[in-house]
Structure 1
């Protein structure tokens, strides 16, 4: 189905387009009053590229010189009269299909350019190194999705015995998620004076972000570790539970204090939990891709399998466990095909030093 707008001569056709009419395709007769089809085509080509506005010239002339003149004037195609109706429709459909193909290619190119920008943003905001504390073995495994997701992690290196850790996950993908992640970095960076209070860190970050992220939200978990007192404090903003493996009792514990996701409500207070740490204990933070990776039958990897890997891998080093978990996820989901979401996994061992 199509709508046809008719002009009686060349100037009238140009006036219609100058006044806002944007046709998908123009059919021109070479022999028109006041202005030839060749002249109209030349004028149109001053404003529109061949892929933006296809032009099909119709003429009773069928000489090679006229064909060349039509193409040089900017016509995409040329059809001699008398013409077959089916051939005309076929030529029109072909030109429209080519126009749509170019448009799709341009959109794909734009998307790729946006993704390149998003990847640069993402690389620029993540830490370039992991903190080194004598009593901690910190291992981070980060795998970005193909189209750029919104995982973010960062650290407060206070001294050799105190450390703040943030893991966050922004809704959505691409440039919007990367830009929100960049805002998280800023909101987190100004929290260093509050680092020892997990609840204040998240509450203050939410105040900063709530009016600045539109139609998006984020989950986050913050951990403050004080090795001098062997204490860990954790606050949670709708994120996955913090996992702590207690070596002495050989048990895995989940901690998720109350706290809404960030970015929805301004007046939110985040509670925190206090956890005793001993040498041999293991702390694990992660984002949802670890749990929500699916296999070929669309089955989630799930919390139960993840927890079991932690339990059976308690004799491994932090690096060995992190790599083992990634290997299991890859075996489960064929990760080489590309992640559906960013994956962040952090394994922290408390050392006996």
Structure 2
């Protein structure tokens, strides 16, 4: 009996030790993936992002070399945009057919592989290793997939210190490939935007095609907006955007961050027309890319500012960016030189939100920003707008101004965000009496409900 009890106790202790070791390994893995996600969200510039992916994979898996092989959909080929390791530069011009070699097989099938002995694998192609004179002993290769589409292949070769890769290493590389796919998708989206806008800017030189091309630009620009309304937990939101021309520089964005938190942003680019539209669209991509990188709105604004600041550019943008907890009404916000927001009660009383004013984004790369914080009361609304509202002109040359804004808000106290946004825009249009707007108009109304 005693012997059986000791044996059972020993088994229980061994199981507890194994469980604790597994839990510790999972915690280390989660910390590693968190650091990986932060690095991958730090940029959407092609060369920099791809190199970060490679260096991260190589370091995480303790490999001698790594590469990301992208898919050329038009030519149905794979190409080495970036490769790390001593012979990385010699790899970049090589192209593989879909299905060729292990990487081509992974891209074609969408399956991950662990190759303990590359030379003995029937799928092995020695084109790359012969070109660079770097033998491949063992390797891991996983597909990089976003929204069901294979963007490329991520591989690491030769475990350091003559080691061998394990199944746990393959799983870890698959986990690294997941945030890498999101980062690559953002990069490709940004590049497609720049390419399409640049093409559009060149073609607008032909006067007879101006109208149709501007309509295309308007469609492209509006495609980056998240919609015009949202509802999450106790929060309802509505937004409106009216460019003074076919395209403009005002912007708004809202993004669900998880855990019933909502990122809110409204901004105004310093120019109008096509230059402002280009800058605005770039800001929308940066906001999307940086939204989940930090808990602090000021940190998000500062990071975007570093990305868009350019000594040769005269473009800048005012911006109000906030993170709202839709359950508690807690609002953290950062004001980059934007129009003062208002808090609107259900009785129509509007009070200015206290903010710390900072320089707009795109002025100086090293500008520092700070957060402020309040708690919205149940039934209270936050109203954001651009200066196209307050600087709207009547036929007599008068401005709508702050008084006009407060008077319009006084009639919006009991309205839904959608009704309030529409009413504010309608008040400006009535004041202008059909006069063409001189500036873009953007409005966002966010209401924290009572239940």
* Length-normalised TM-score, structure 2: 0.51
Match of 1:133 among 219, 227, 232: 232
What is the Cα deviation at residue 333 of structure 1?
Answer: 0.4
Other-structure match for 1:285: 384
Q: 1:183 aligned to 267, 275, 282, which one?
A: 282
1:220 aligned residue: 319
Max Rg structure:
1
CA distance in structure 2 between the aligned counterparts of 1:281 and 1:311, rounded to whole angstroms: 13
> Structure 1: how far apart are the matches of 2:348 and 2:211?
51
Within the candidate set 314, 317, 320, 2:419 is matched to 320
SS in 1 for 2:231: coil
Q: Select which of 262, 274, 290 maps to 2:373.
A: 274
Residue from 433, 440, 444 that aligns with 1:334: 433
Per the alignment, do residues 185 and 317 of structure 1 end up closer, same or farther by CA in structure 2, a change over 3 Å counting?
Answer: closer
The number of residue pairs the alignment matches comes to: 248
Change (3 A) 1:140 1:160: farther
Can you list the C-alpha shifts for 1:272-305, whole angstroms capped at 9, x where unaligned?
2101112111101111111111000111100121
Alpha-carbon shift at residue 203 of structure 1 (Å): 0.6
Q: Alpha-carbon deviation of 1:167?
A: 0.8
Q: How far apart are the structure 2 equivalents of 1:267 and 1:241?
A: 24
Which residue of the other structure, out of 180, 197, 221, is the alignment partner of 2:296? 197
- The aligned counterpart of 1:259 is 358
Structure 2 residue aligned with 1:236: 335
Instruction: Specify which structure has the bigger relative contact order, considering alpha-carbon pairs within 8 angstroms and separated by 6 or more residues.
Output: 1
2:442 corresponds in structure 1 to: 344
Q: d(CA) in 2 for partners of 1:291 and 1:327?
A: 13
Once residues 326 and 216 of structure 2 are traced to their aligned partners in structure 1, the CA distance between those partners, rounded to angstroms, is: 39
Displacement of 1:265 in angstroms is: 0.5
TM-aligned CA deviation for residue 212 of structure 1? 8.5
2:320·2:338 contact (CA, 8 Å) conserved in 1?
yes
Question: Displacement of 1:111 after TM fit?
Answer: 4.5
RMSD: 2.5
2:293 and 2:339 mapped to 1: Cα distance?
23
In the alignment, which residue of structure 2 is the partner of 1:148?
247
2:394 corresponding residue in structure 1: 295
Structure 1 gaps of 5+ residues are: 1-105
Aligned to 1:169: 268
CA distance in 1, matches of 2:266, 2:238: 13
Are residues 134 and 119 of structure 1, via their aligned partners in 2, closer, same or farther at CA, if it must alter by over 3 Å? same
Residues 190 and 213 (structure 1 numbering): CA distance in 2 closer, same or farther, change over 3 Å? farther
Q: CA shift at 1:235, angstroms? A: 0.5
Aligned equivalent of 1:8: none
TM-score normalized by the length of structure 1 = 0.64
Q: CA deviation at 1:340?
A: 1.8
Q: Structure 1, residues 191-236: CA drift from partner, whole Å, max 9, x if none?
A: 1224531111111110011028822111111011013443101101
